[in-house]
Chain A
Amino acid sequence: EIVMTQSPATLSVSPGERVTLSCRASQSVGIDLAWYQQKPGQAPRLLIHGSSTRATGIPTRFSGGGSGTEFTLTISSLQSEDFAVYYCQQYNNWPPLTFGGGTKVEIK
């Protein structure tokens, strides 16, 4: 099973700041890496797939990168609606599909 590790667990930031979240895989997943955003009381929403391709309707301030075992999600200028929990997921080697533990982006 591929283990996905996200860091940090919590990030305290101010609106307008640039934020970078990290996700590490226990073995190479190529670029088969997705990012999701989950707001309180809501279902997750797909942001990024293929490591760096934005899903339909996702603002350009969200960008993803990386390959192999190291990945990042960057929000170029944090908006109020971006405060949420972010999860990475690998879909290269499964079952099982595996998610990271999440990074909570909170208001500083």
Chain B
Amino acid sequence: EVHLADSGGGLVQPGGSLRLSCVASGFNFGDYVMHWVRQAPGKGLEWVASINWNSQTVIYADSVRGRFTVSRDNAKNSLYLQLDSLRPDDTGMYYCGKGFQWLLDHWGQGTLVTVSS
């Protein structure tokens, strides 16, 4: 059974940093594109970033490019999202997702990021 465990969220001041993690199990992690999607409180879904199987292709939403960095360690079945220069509008639940074609066929439970002074 596919399982994705998101972690690393928390309360951080504007301008601060966080590192989110997603540990995968139940599938061959190194074969798949992985995604990050976020959801502001009470709002819809927003794609954040994607990384292909060998990290050669990394793509970001305009809203986070230059501030967020996605990476992966296939040996550890792990996906990461480094969040720097955080702003209040980055507040929300962050989900990792297993890629199927270019959609998400399995999602983590999410980790909450709150940016506030």
Contact = CB atoms under 8 A, between A and B. Distances in A.
Interface of A: 32, 34, 36, 42-46, 49, 55, 87, 89, 91, 94-102
Contacts of B95: 43-44
Given A43-B109, A46-B103, A55-B105, A95 B44 contact: no
Given A43-B107, A44-B95, A97-B50, A49 B101 contact: yes
Contacts of A45: 107
B45 A44 contact: yes
A100 B44 CA distance: 8
27 contacts: A32-B102, A34-B103, A36-B104, A43-B95, A43-B107, A43-B109, A44-B45, A44-B95, A44-B104, A46-B103, A49-B105, A55-B105, A87-B44, A91-B101, A94-B59, A95-B47, A95-B50, A96-B47, A96-B61, A96-B62, A97-B50, A97-B103, A99-B47, A100-B44, A101-B44, A102-B44, A102-B45
Contacts, number: 57
A55 B110 CA distance: 21
Contacts of B73: none
Q: Label chain B's interface by main secondary structure.
A: strand
A91 B102 contact: yes
Contacts of A49: 100-101, 103, 105
Given A91-B101, A91-B102, A94-B102, A99 B45 contact: yes
B44 A99 contact: yes
Given A46-B100, A99-B44, 13 more contacts: A43-B110, A44-B107, A46-B103, A46-B104, A91-B102, A91-B103, A94-B59, A96-B47, A96-B62, A97-B47, A97-B103, A99-B46, A100-B44
